[in-house]
Chains A and B, each alone.
Chain A
Amino acid sequence: MPVWILVAVLVLGTAGTVGAETYDFAIAEAAPKPYEIGVRLEARYLHHRYDRDSAKYRLDALRGDPGAEAREWHGVVEPMFSYRRGMVKAALVTHHAYVDDGLQAGTSDDVYEGYVSLTPSPRFTLDLGKRSVLWGKGYAWNPAGFVNRPRDPDDATQNLEGRVVAGVDLIQSFAGGSLTNMGLTALVLPVIDDWANPEMGADGDVNWAVKLYLLWHDTDIDLIWFDGPSQPLSLGFDFSKNLAENIEVHGELGWRRDAVRTVVDARGQVRLERIDPLDWLLGMRYLNAWDTTFIVEYYHRGSGYRRDQLEDLFAFQAAAVERWRTTGEAASVSRARQVTEAYFSQRNPGRDYGYFKVFQKEPFDLLYVTSWIAMLANLQDGSFNVQPGLTWTPLTNLELNFRVAIPVGPAGTEFGEKPDAVRPEVWVRYYF
């Protein structure tokens, strides 16, 4: 090839790219497929450095000395599959976990979601099977989310196990006026043996949940009703609204009739109370010009324990442990473990809480990094948990997370009695 042709080809070839970047206009993903397949892998490591004077640690020590520190490993595989044909869709999400907490190791296999949906029109959908249900507008708590599974507000993208439901979803939009659209979701939640909603009542119970959603005056409003043979009648309300281009406010209210609450006094006397608790939450999210997001929430639990009630509980525990130490009588600690179960099974047993979280995208110009710090405080006893964390996504579909939980508070307070003095945690997620 003559040299001048080669030079001309090179010059012409480069001319098109000088000063302007070229982009690929072909979007391969634009061809839809009737099926979807995905997998999420997760590996998690937790390091517990125990507070050996804490109430929970001393109770657990009855089963054997856990030592000053412990390591915990989790491995999770979550395959997801869905297939759609016409108005029918079937979906399956399974969760396979390996957990080694230093004392014992084991595996578990669960179906997180497995359902069939029939959608003859966008206005009407029928669901049958196991689906995730999460109602309410709160970030850290959902007092109106009567059918929700507990979740970790600082790991929001973690999959949650669904509920077995038969459900219908109706939607109606309105042109003009202050009511823009409304949606009605009605769920039947049966309890069948130990595979369908066993934590919602006795075998054969049928629970009902209804949510009416309104978009009214640019405000999301939900009215929630939940009832069942072994469940208190529960009524809920929530709202959410954008006040400006960077400010959102939300609130929730939940009322239950004839709910049962266990109270333990300082002598270990257990009393079952029937109460009509009112729980409510108010919160806001704000984004400033430096891409810093602030989330603040206040939460009042009508069924929560006052400061003096928590102090009584911890005093009773301490006395039981002391008796065991001095007399060797294990029965008192065993009973203490039993009667305090009602407290420790609750994520936050107190009455008034505050939650504060700050996110910063790419702090100090660190690429692909989001840093955050969260604080959850029991406002009655002044104890709190402070938790700084980082998320780093160095590659597409790869996510590295790190956080440290540091409970702070004197003896006899909620966070002062947490078993961990400090708990760093690292987890890696990969999606494909």
Chain B
Amino acid sequence: MQKILPSALVWLVLFLAPAAALAEPLTGEQVLKQVDRNLEPGNLEMYRKIINIEPDGKRKEYVLWFLRKDKDKVVTLFISPASEAGRATLRLGDNMWLYIPNVGKPIRITSMQSVVGGVFNNADIMRLDYSEEYAVAGMGEADGQILLELKARSGAVAYDRLQMRVDKARLVPVRIDCFAATGMLIKTLHFSDIKDIGGGAVRPAVMETESPLYKGYKSVMVSANLKLRELPDEVFTLNYLPRVKDLR
């Protein structure tokens, strides 16, 4: 009995320790990283439809092919409409470029500009991981959701501060309020239609945005046809941008 007791205690500790670790609540940084993984699970390609809805109800639609590698490399290629087809954008960290086939040379663009008009800017369309651009400044709970207060890691990020509401069970964002350094609300992003959008990624397929700066306007981004895809780093370079459509 004296021999059995210590070994039973060891087994008990070994059995309970992982459970205790599992029960420990996630930190804000862990939640944010999991949100990133759930939204974009690794190196991938997918299609995005951007719908700009004007105050009179008229719509303009753009279809983009989206490529992403690591935490800091994004390429988008305009597939339609015909007037935009062939345009491509590249993001490498804080650097962004736009290639217009007729112009023939990529030009540098900034995150606050918008290549499609509407409420989405370039930073929304070519977004990097939230945890790459923002640090968690605070975490709380509201209406049964996790509330993350995020602060930009550098001045090159489009929004100075984000307030992110996260679905507790699925760890995907439900709503994000984006603020300027002055405290002004720039826009609100709403996430909905959680479903498998391909490649086993179960996440919100629709992101809608509205902004007090664009009263009456709404922009929607629908994500679909996600596939995991490994591409060499050289695809995410300025020299390759005019040829990126050859990879589709």
Q: Residues of A with Cβ closer than 8 Å to B?
A: 20-21, 23-27, 29-30, 32, 36, 38, 84, 89, 117, 119, 121-123, 125, 132-137, 156-160, 169, 171-173, 175, 180-181, 183, 185, 213, 215, 218, 220, 240-242, 244-248, 250, 285, 287, 289, 293, 361, 367-368, 393, 396-397, 399, 429, 431-432
Contact = CB atoms under 8 A, between A and B. Distances in A.
B126 to A, nearest CB: 13
Contacts of A246: 110-113
Nearest to B48: A27
Contact of A159 (B102, B156, B206, B213): B102
Which residue of B81, B109, B157, B193 has the most chain A CB atoms within 10 A of its CB atom? B81
Interface of B: 47, 49, 51, 54-56, 58, 60-61, 63, 65, 79-83, 85, 92-96, 100, 102-105, 107-113, 117, 123, 155-158, 180, 192-193, 205-206, 213, 220, 222, 224-225, 231-240, 243, 246-248
A171 B103 contact: no
Contacts of A169: 239
A23 B234 contact: no
Contacts of A247: 110
Given A27-B63, A248-B110, A431 B81 contact: yes
Given A119-B243, A172-B234, A27 B224 contact: yes
B82 A29 contact: no
Contact of B239 (A89, A183, A429): A183
Nearest to A20: B192
Contacts of B180: 289
Given A245-B156, A431-B82, A240 B108 contact: yes
Given A89-B246, A156-B100, A158-B102, A242 B95 contact: yes
B239 A171 contact: yes
B93 A218 contact: yes
Nearest to B92: A180
Given A244-B155, A397-B82, A134 B92 contact: no
Contact of A432 (B60, B82, B94, B95): B82
B238 A132 contact: no
Nearest to A396: B81
B238 to A, nearest CB: 6
A38 B100 contact: no
Contact of B100 (A123, A157, A172): A157
Query: Which 7 A-B residue pairs are closest in the complex by CB-CB distance?
Result: A183-B239, A173-B233, A134-B104, A431-B82, A132-B104, A431-B83, A32-B248
A125 B237 CA distance: 14
Contacts of A84: 246
Contacts of B231: 122
Contacts of A361: 117
A105 to B, nearest CB: 26
A163 B65 CA distance: 30
Contacts of B225: 27, 30
